Structure 1
Amino acid sequence: MPMYDPAHPGEILGEDILKELNITITAAAEKLGISRKTLSAIVNGHAPITAETAIKLEKVFGKPDAEHWLRMQMTYDLYHARQKMAA
């Protein structure tokens, strides 16, 4: 069953991980070894979670694993590509 309008994985990262751990985007970006600008773009749904970023998220935060982050990104991308092609 296809998902309808799935959340961007950055939204999940912001709400379910950073907010729960009470960690700022700046502090998380430092831990991940990426720029604050890049992490902010991901959390705000303006940039995708790449394979490299997924691995870093797994190493720093543990769960979910890198594969899960990439599945969320793929689901999001596929949904929006289908919407664009249907239009």
Structure 2
Amino acid sequence: MAMFNPAHPGEILKELVIDSLELTITDVAKHLDVSRKTLSKVLNTKGSITPVMAVRLELAFGKPSADHWLRLQNAHDLWQTRQEQQSLHVSPYNFQMA
């Protein structure tokens, strides 16, 4: 069953990890060895959690796993793309039997 509008993983990271642990974006960025701008883009849903970022998060926080972060990102991206699939201008093949 497909989810309806899955949350961007940056929102989840901000609310359930950074805010709940009362961390600052600057401190987390330093700890992850990324720029504050890079982390802010993810948290503000303007950037994606890449495989490298997912591993950084797993190393820093333990759980959830890198795989989980990537599944969240994939679910969000796929849902967004399906909302715009008509703009892809692709139709099914019509195979005719000879």
- TM-score (normalised: structure 1): 0.97
1:61 aligned residue: 61
Per-residue Cα deviation, 1:34-86 (whole angstroms, up to 9, x for no partner): 00000000001000000000000000011100000000000000000000114
Are 2:60 and 1:72 equivalent residues in the alignment? Answer: no
- TM-score (normalised: structure 2): 0.87
Q: Which runs of 5+ in 2 are unaligned?
A: 88-98
2:17 aligned residue: 17
Higher helix share: 1
Deviating 4+ runs (over 3 angstroms): none
| Cα distance in 2 for residues equivalent to 1:7 and 1:86 | 22
1:38 aligned residue: 38
Q: Which runs of 5+ in 1 are unaligned?
A: none
Tell me how large the CA RMSD over aligned residues is.
0.8
Aligned partner of residue 63 in structure 2, secondary structure: coil
Aligned partner of residue 48 in structure 2, secondary structure: coil
